[in-house]
Amino acid sequence: MNLWTLFAIARARTPQKEALEFVNVESGNAPIRMSYEELYTQAERWATAFAQMGLRKGDRVAFFLGNRPEFVIAYLAVLRAGAIMVPINLRYRRMEIYHILNDCTPRFLVTEKAQEPILAELTSTDLGGVERILAVDAVDEWLSPVETQRPPLVHGEDLALIMYTSGTTGRSKGAMISHNNVLATVTGLMAAWAWQADDVILLPLPLFHVHGLVVGLHCALASGATVRLRPKFDAEETIDVLAHGGATLFFGVPTLYVRLLDLLERMDPKPDFNRMRLFCSGSAPLAAETYIAFEDLTGHRILERYGMTETGMNLSNPYIGPRVPGSVGTPLPGVFARIVDGQNHELAPGSEGELLVRGSNVFDGYWNDKEKTAASFSVDEAGIRWFHTGDLAVQDPESGYVTLLGRRHELIISGGFNIYPREIEELLLSYPGIRDAAVIGAPHPEWGEVPLACLVCEGEIDEISLVNWCKSQLASFKVPRHFRYVNELPRNAMGKVLKHLLK
Ligand code: MLC
Ligand code: AMP
């Protein structure tokens, strides 16, 4: 079994069913619709073209493109060809793209014409040996009519994805995710959330992350459901689609719910989402106030779940049964979780500690990084390997529900995107006049958290120039929103900045 066969089963069952609908409100273009059969045929054709251009099993293919039907076609084609998809956050800029391409050395870079100005800033060194840049909206240039070839045998243990996720060292690490890992999350969620073939999901989340790609797209395609894909989130259009019975499911990061609420509060009369059967939230903590306000305004209780790039989905509130605001529920089918102290001893329910997980959903390690892989796992008394999530948690002794309390590491989550302070600190330190820098997360009503930089400077710094310079190097959501100037940073005897004091 692999992810292509999972999709092929759905296509064999209902070939004429609509798999994908794509609407770009800004462009005003007519919707694009594809049946399971059409998606299958196109993906096969692209897989053959990739193979003819020299793509082999195990090769990496980087994706730098927005949500669009061709993303799905190309991705399925990569899986069919036995290659590994490496998605890149579209907001990433030169430094970040350079690191990913040079770390996993993809043979092809799949992109779109709109990204050409950004890619034009990359030198051949930045591209890390990419042999071909394939724009999905210029297929005439590379998609020649070809005979279908016999695809390679792809096993469940083979890698499907390398997804870059923030690293403690400042540079992101490539999580190696197998077909089986994704299958485990998908089958677990299909059972837990009662996915059905007549489900329709409105999906504006980016396909370059686990949330959009695995929880949204793969679950839908495996269920024979319909995906209403959007290039970006638009609160007005979302409410319009949901109020007209256009979907049964909606998944968002908390920022999306904050924006929906903002609009819903101003609407009179309130829309009726009566075809909707499930609103889910994840990727960052959903504030209890958001949960309550959403229920008050819509009558729907948001189902909060918890996952990670490295593990897919781990815990979830129940589909049937009480959903508790502020809690992430219990382990999904096939997932095992425990909460441990600093010596990796399992704690009794009610005690706070680090959350460890294991299961077929958990990845095997980081690409080219045995050291960080080893540091992320531990082996228990029975010889079983557990992944250290870095998230602090407590389990309710009565209900068994888990509540997340924060993170062991310094990760900042802004609107569902991860930011590692170290990466920004290193950049700030290379700016003339900055002697020392520390970045922390500041609370923000819409984004959850935003980066705030504490700087020790020689003389005055022009903040506007500094911000513009940072934006030219990094994704703009990582650029500090606030600056504070201090004479020195509080450090412990080891020289480590005491960030809790800065906060
Ligand atoms: C955009 N901006 C952000 C931001 N996204 N700032 C802070 N945090 C963010 N997340 C900034 C841009 O830098 C830009 O700033 C300005 O907002 C407008 O950009 P935009 O691209 O037009 O924004 P918008 O389309 O409105 O995007 C907001 C968003 C997006 C919430 C829709 O951030 C998003 O799709 N987030 C979801 C991320 C996600 O799917 N995470 C899942 C990770 S998987 P400027 O200065 O340039 O104007 C995972 C596992 C799990 O964590 O459990 O699911
Ligand atoms: P990523 O590396 O992008 O996959 O982010 C994973 C991290 O997102 C987890 O380690 C958590 O810290 C956070 N996260 C995901 N879901 C939730 C949630 N429901 N509540 C709080 N934090 C979450």
Mean pLDDT by 10 residues, the chain (503 residues): 98 98 94 98 95 96 98 98 97 92 98 96 91 96 79 96 78 94 98 98 98 98 98 98 98 97 97 97 94 97 98 98 97 98 95 97 96 94 95 96 89 93 91 95 95 95 95 93 95 82 89
From the CA of 416, the nearest ligand is 1
Number of domains into which the chain is organized: 2
Rounded distance between C-alpha atoms, residue 112 and residue 137, angstroms: 6
DSSP 283-341: SSPPPHHHHHHHHHHHSPPPEEEEEETTTEEEEE--SSS---TT--BEEPTT-EEEEE-
Nearest 5 degrees, angle CA 302-CA 303-CA 305? Answer: 135
Q: Is the CB of 393 under 6 A from ligand 2?
A: no
- Among the atoms of ligand 1, which is closest to the Cα of residue 414? 8
Q: Which of 275, 232, 288, 231 is nearest to 256 (CA)?
A: 232
pLDDT digits (tens, 9 = 90+) for 338-356: 999 999 999 999 999 999 9
Q: Is the CB of 415 under 6 A from ligand 1?
A: yes
Q: Is the CB of 480 under 6 A from ligand 1?
A: no
Rounded distance between C-alpha atoms, residue 263 and residue 238, angstroms: 11
| Mutate which of 404, 408, 420 for ligand 2 pocket (most atoms within 8 A of beta carbon) | 404
Point out the domain boundary residue: 146, 178, 210: 178
Rounded distance between C-alpha atoms, residue 299 and residue 309, angstroms: 31
Q: What is the CATH number of the domain that holds 120?
A: 3.40.50.12780
Q: Is the CB of 415 under 6 A from ligand 2?
A: no
Rounded distance between C-alpha atoms, residue 89 and residue 66, angstroms: 9
Q: Is the CB of 404 under 6 A from ligand 2?
A: yes
Q: Which two tokens stand for residue 153?
A: 């045998």
* Structural domain includes residue 323: no
CA of 407 to the centre of ligand 2 (A): 9
* Structural domain includes residue 312: no
Determine contact, residues 22/31, Cβ cutoff 8 Å: yes
Nearest 5 degrees, angle CA 428-CA 432-CA 433? Answer: 90
Q: Which two tokens stand for residue 37?
A: 């059969």
Q: Is the CB of 280 under 6 A from ligand 1?
A: no
* Structural domain includes residue 49: yes
Point out the domain boundary residue: 151, 178, 205: 178
Q: What is the CATH number of the domain that holds 441?
A: 3.30.300.30
The neighbour count for residue 40, using CB atoms within 10 Å, is 22
pLDDT of residue 364: 94
Establish how many alpha carbons lie within 13 A of residue 219's alpha carbon, considering only the half-sphere containing its beta carbon.
30
* Structural domain includes residue 296: no
From the CA of 207, the nearest ligand is 1
* Structural domain includes residue 386: no
For 87, the domain range is 3-178
Rounded distance between C-alpha atoms, residue 331 and residue 232, angstroms: 30
DSSP 153: P
Determine contact, residues 279/319, Cβ cutoff 8 Å: no
Name the residue type at position 105: T
CA of 167 to the centre of ligand 2 (A): 14
* Structural domain includes residue 15: yes
pLDDT of residue 407: 81
Q: Is the CB of 282 under 6 A from ligand 2?
A: yes
* Structural domain includes residue 149: yes
CA of 256 to the centre of ligand 1 (A): 9
Determine contact, residues 239/271, Cβ cutoff 8 Å: yes
At residue 385, the 3 state secondary structure works out as: strand
- Among the atoms of ligand 1, which is closest to the Cα of residue 210? 44
Q: Is the CB of 216 under 6 A from ligand 2?
A: no
**Which H or E run includes 370?**
helix 370-376
From the CA of 442, the nearest ligand is 1
Q: Which of 103, 127, 96 is nearest to 423 (CA)?
A: 96
Determine contact, residues 1/154, Cβ cutoff 8 Å: no
pLDDT digits (tens, 9 = 90+) for 110-138: 999 999 999 999 998 999 999 999 999 99
At residue 404, the 3 state secondary structure works out as: strand
Q: Is the CB of 255 under 6 A from ligand 1?
A: yes
Establish how many alpha carbons lie within 13 A of residue 115's alpha carbon, considering only the half-sphere containing its beta carbon.
25
Point out the domain boundary residue: 178, 212, 240: 178
Determine how β-strand 365-366 pairs with β-strand 173-178.
Answer: antiparallel
Number of H helices and number of E strands within the chain? Answer: 15, 26
Residue of minimum CA distance from atom 39 in ligand 1: 416
pLDDT digits (tens, 9 = 90+) for 191-249: 999 999 999 999 999 999 999 999 999 999 999 999 999 999 999 999 999 999 999 99
Q: Which of 348, 362, 301 is nearest to 329 (CA)?
A: 301
Q: Is the CB of 376 under 6 A from ligand 1?
A: no
CA of 326 to the centre of ligand 1 (A): 22
Q: What is the CA radius of gyration of the chain?
A: 23
Q: Which two tokens stand for residue 303?
A: 């189902």
Rounded distance between C-alpha atoms, residue 275 and residue 240, angstroms: 13
Determine contact, residues 324/317, Cβ cutoff 8 Å: yes
Determine contact, residues 245/235, Cβ cutoff 8 Å: no
* Structural domain includes residue 105: yes
